[in-house]
Structure 1
Amino acid sequence: MVRKTTRITVALLFVAWTIDYVDRQVINLALPSIGETFGLSHGERGLIISAFFAAYALFQIPGGILSDRFGGVRIACLAVMLWSGFTGLTAAAWSFGALLAVRCFFGAAQGMFPGAALNTLGARSAPAERNTANGWVQSSNAVGTLLAGLLASALLSSWDWRAMFAAVSVLGLVALVAIRRWMPPPLPEVQTGAVRKARGATSTLLRSPVMWGFALMFFAYDVVVWGLNSWSASYLVERYRVPISQAGLAAIGPTVAAAVCAIVGGRLSDRFRGRPRRIIVPAMTAVAALLFLLPRLPSATLFVVCGTALSAAAGLCYIPCFSVPLRSLPANLNGVAAGLILFGGQLSGIITPAVVGYVVDRYSYTAALTMLIVGPVLAILAVLCVPQTTKSFLARFSTVTRLPEHTDGHADAPRP
């Protein structure tokens, strides 16, 4: 049974990460209005998304290192406070250049949060249940996306995009107060696997081809996620003439499916004791097939149905991208490990929205969405190359901690 400390931590991080995604995702539905305000092309609209991800990606690894050094809760609170301020400043942007600058600062602030959150979770959960707990936390991403769609649809139908950003910036205060007031103390180190790190452990992880293999896997996963999340609303408006006030509602099915399957993927990762290949190969094969079908459907209804199935299959792959490192490494290395893997995903966030916008301008939405098949292909190739179990993973990192390679407080020894 999951400990009370772990359950409370999951609940608080779920709330914070939901608000994180609301603040981040509302801009996707606001893009058509922002484009009209500043007279932007599709490519320039994509750059607004990419500006966020450039800073977000750059701060993933530093955020993880700072969290391992100074504590995840402290860095998480700092991140929430800063990103909420920059969400509010988005409403004050007076030009395309000013908007790009504000979104960069916003991305930097949010970039410190993921490593801090996973450091916080690692210090308050046992390795054998960590992927399940992380699955519940990461399901907040889909919930935040859903709430962003609902809030943006409601606010944009009554107010303009500037008023919407000013309103949602207040939500971060909720997360900040909740974390500071109710976050429980860490579990005893013997329960979390928080052992003394060997000298140079952080730099060893950052230089490791194995860790970069997991980062590549998450990059590939996010090619699909950010390609669709950034452009689905615009596609529905432009291809099927769906009103902007309803485009956000079309995300309900896909986001609920993604949330449920993130939880399932986390649970399966603990049950399989890692072994991401068992999940990613079949799920990403289905994603590739659905991506080919998606832009060739004759109606918005079929697009949403297909998108829901696609989101479910992709959602299964979220936690497996982290499962072996976070299960295998001690808790006091979770921040940097998560930051490195997330850095790979955010590189995709920098590249994919802008590339999709460019292909739409030069060719078509059909070509752009079909191009996203490179994501599942790359994910399958990456998962075939990385260690599948704690034992095989730790064999590559015998100098990182003082744990024996076959230890099994969090490895793969048979259960009694």
Structure 2
Amino acid sequence: MSAPSPQSARRTVRITIVLLFAAWLVDYADRLVINLVLPSLGAEFDLSRGQQGLVVSAFFLAYALAQIPGGMLADRYGARRVTLWALLAWSVFTALTGFAWSFAVLLVLRFAFGAAEGVFPPASLKVLVERTTPDERMAAHGLVMSSNAVAGVLTPLLVAPLIAAFGWRSAFFSTAALGVFVLVAVRLRLPAPLPRVQPATGTLRTGAGGVLRLGVVWRFSAMMFGYSAIVWGFNTWVPSYLVEEHQVSLAAAGTLVAVPALAAAAAIVLGGRISDRLGGHHRKVIVPGMTVAAVTLLLTAFSSSLTGFLVFGTLASVAVALCYMPIFVIPLSGLAPEQVGVGSAVVVLGGQVAGMAVPPVVGALADAFSYQVAFASLVLGAVIAAAMALLTPQDAASFRTATGASPLPAPAKELS
């Protein structure tokens, strides 16, 4: 296969970024809707905060369990095919959630929805890797993943008024329809992969089972656990906190939540560009970032005013968001393309375990003590992420050495 022209390659990258951005936007919006409807669910089904947290956790349990199988499916059957099936399946289960009539049914549907979405992250990462060059990959990934923060801005702004006007069920029907629209766009417009570059000598060469046995990959997964513990522990309960503790309407709470989400969107993109510039060395971003996050989380938790809560919460969101992209740069540059599905699934799995475990714990702490104690407990996530940043390789060569692969050969010197 002949190499594409630079213009054609750039077009492939641009279209891929736009389509994956849209898919991730819907993916994340579907997840955030549940946070906005928790007060309504609690009132309709008479649920405690702990039970409301379980509704969130049912999704993350299935989402976590589906990560590694999703990576294996993407590596075996193709990332594009798995991405399309994931979009279709999660849109169906999102719509069905709007018909839920009991707590038990909610748990079942959220579990099925989580399984459908769980195969998407490794497949989408593989789609991106197949359609980008290594030197632009992290910047492209940063743009794609900024969709999460953009969804954090748009979802409360658009969905909260919808819930207030038409009830909580309308939120699920609307996001399901959006998912079908994106499914059609990806099906029709996703470009073919760029021609494969022969893997460099020294790149890890092992099957899925070998990747799963690599302790260094699981340390990156633990880093993602710490990051996601803060994100999901905080974002899940902020709308409920604003409604219950400050008597803010749901629509107004949606607007207020959009402020830190917008700042986080910019920070994720910036984190991707910093990662490209540093060529790894994630501790240079994650250790100071998580230190700032720990301090501002405590200030957020114990702020007595709504203004203080929002200001410090926004600073904490920015500090945490800067750390997202640096978690991925070394695994994605150190693994061979055919291992990216499983390898990225392991890293993402840590985040989903946090999403499963942390919301009910934070809710239970709020029930037993206060929201202040619950939000302060998230500092532990910053400690875990910073510790793992110090215990993982700081560049691709060190990563390959840690996996048992031989180092890359030094480039030949030119003769004068």
What is the TM-score when the length of structure 2 is the normalising length? 0.94
CA distance in 1, matches of 2:388, 2:170: 43
Alignment correspondent of 1:80: 87
Residue in 1 that maps onto 2:158: 151
Deviation at 1:351, TM superposition (A): 0.6
Q: Which residue of 1 is the match for residue 316 of structure 2?
A: 310
One-letter code aligned to 1:85: V
Q: Using the TM superposition, give the Cα deviation of residue 407 of structure 1 relative to its aligned residue in structure 2, in angstroms.
A: 5.0
The alpha carbon displacement at 1:5 in A equals 1.3
Matched, 1:94 2:94: no
The one-letter amino acid paired with 1:372 is: L
**Equivalent-residue separation in structure 1 for 2:35 and 2:398 (angstroms):** 41
How far apart in 1 are the matches of 2:312 and 2:206? 47
- Note if contact 1:150-1:249 (Cα within 8 Å) is conserved in structure 2: yes
Query: How far 1:302 sits from its partner (Å)?
Result: 2.1
User: Deviation of residue 205 (structure 1)?
Assistant: 1.2
Structure 2 contact 138–325 (Cα < 8 Å) conserved: yes
Which residue does the alignment assign to 1:406? 408
Offset at residue 406 of structure 1 (A):
1.4
Match of 2:16 among 9, 13, 16: 9
Write out aligned runs for 1:179-258 (5 A): 179-190=186-197, 193=199, 200-258=206-264
| Correspondence for 2:119 among 112, 116, 130 | 112
Identify if the C-alpha distance between structure 1 residues 320 and 114 changes in structure 2 by more than 3 Å, giving closer, same or farther. same
2:63 is aligned, of 56, 61, 72, to 56
1:161 corresponds to: 168
* Contact 1:195/1:332, CA 8 A, preserved across alignment: no
Query: Matched residue of 1:395: which SS?
Result: helix
CA distance in 2, matches of 1:56, 1:71: 20
Equivalent residue for 2:270?
264
Aligned mates of 1:166, 1:173 — CA distance in 2: 11
Which is further off, 195-204 or 79-88?
Answer: 195-204
Percent identity between the two aligned chains: 45
Q: Residue 149 of structure 2 corresponds to which residue in structure 1? A: 142
The TM-score with structure 1 as length reference comes to 0.94
Q: 2:15–2:191: 8 Å Cα contact kept in structure 1? A: yes
| Amino acid in structure 1 at the alignment position of 2:294 | A
Unaligned runs of 5+ in 2: 1-5
Give the corresponding residue for 1:362.
368
Counterpart CA distance in 1 for 2:74 and 2:255 is 36
Compute the displacement of 1:198 (Å).
7.5
Give the Cα–Cα distance (whole angstroms) in 2 for the partners of residues 275 and 102 of structure 1.
41
Q: In the alignment, residue 117 of structure 2 is paired with which amino acid? A: Q
Question: By how many angstroms is 1:253 displaced?
Answer: 1.6
Question: Which of 394, 399, 409 is residue 388 of structure 1 equivalent to?
Answer: 394
Determine helix, strand or coil for the equivalent of 2:131. Answer: coil
Q: CA–CA distance in 2 between the matches of 1:198 and 1:270?
A: 21
Q: Distance in 1 between matches of 2:397 and 2:250?
A: 51
Residues 1:44 and 2:51 aligned together: yes
Matching residue within 76, 84, 89 for 1:69: 76
Residues of 2 paired with 1:397 and 1:153: CA distance?
Answer: 47
Letter in 2 for 1:104: F
1:201 Cα deviation from its structure 2 partner: 2.5
Deviation at 1:156, TM superposition (A): 1.1
Report how far residue 408 of structure 1 moved.
7.8
Structure 2 distance, partners of 1:41, 1:367, is: 18
Unaligned runs of 5+ in 1: none
Q: What is the distance in 2 between the residues matched to 1:168 and 1:277?
A: 37
CA RMSD of aligned residues (A): 1.9
SS at 1:190's partner residue? coil
Q: Give the total of aligned pairs.
A: 405
- Secondary structure (helix, strand or coil) at the match of 1:170 reads helix
Q: What is the CA-CA distance between 1:398 and the residue it aligns to? A: 4.2
TM-superposed CA distance for 1:299, in Å, is 2.0
Indicate which of 117, 123, 126 corresponds to 2:133: 126
Q: Check conservation: 1:123, 1:187, Cα contact below 8 A.
A: yes
Amino acid at match of 1:53: F
1:332 paired to 2:300 = no
Correspondence for 2:3: none
Q: Distance in 1 between matches of 2:180 and 2:168?
A: 21
Q: Deviations over 1:133-170 (max 9, x none)?
A: 11011100111122211122121120111122122210
> Residues 368, 90 of structure 1: CA spacing in aligned structure 2 closer, same or farther, 3 A cutoff?
same
The answer to whether the 8 A contact 2:242-2:253 is kept is yes
- The AA in structure 2 aligned to 1:39 is D
Given that residues 82 and 119 in structure 2 are in contact (C-alpha distance below 8 angstroms), is that contact kept between their aligned partners in structure 1?
A: yes
Distance in 2 between residues matched to 1:186 and 1:254, nearest whole Å: 35
- Counterpart pick for 1:320 among 311, 317, 326: 326
CA contact (8 A) 2:223 2:384 kept: yes
* 1:264 counterpart SS class: helix
Indicate the larger mover: 343-352 or 164-173.
164-173
Confirm or deny: 8 A CA contact 1:194 1:332 kept in the other structure.
no
Write the deviation string for residues 6-63 of structure 1: whole angstroms up to 9, x where unpaired. Answer: 1211111000000111111111010000111100000000000000000000001111
Distance change (3 Å), C-alpha of 1:12 and 1:194: farther
> What is the aligned counterpart of 1:282 among 281, 284, 288?
288
Task: Describe the superposition over 1:312-361 as per-residue Cα deviations: whole angstroms up to 9, x where unpaired.
Answer: 11110001111101022222211111111010110000110000011111
Return the alpha-carbon distance in structure 2 between the equivalents of residues 272 and 195 of structure 1: 23
Bigger shift: 297-306 or 117-126?
297-306
Distance 2:409 2:280 in 1: 15
DSSP-derived class of the 1:3 partner = helix
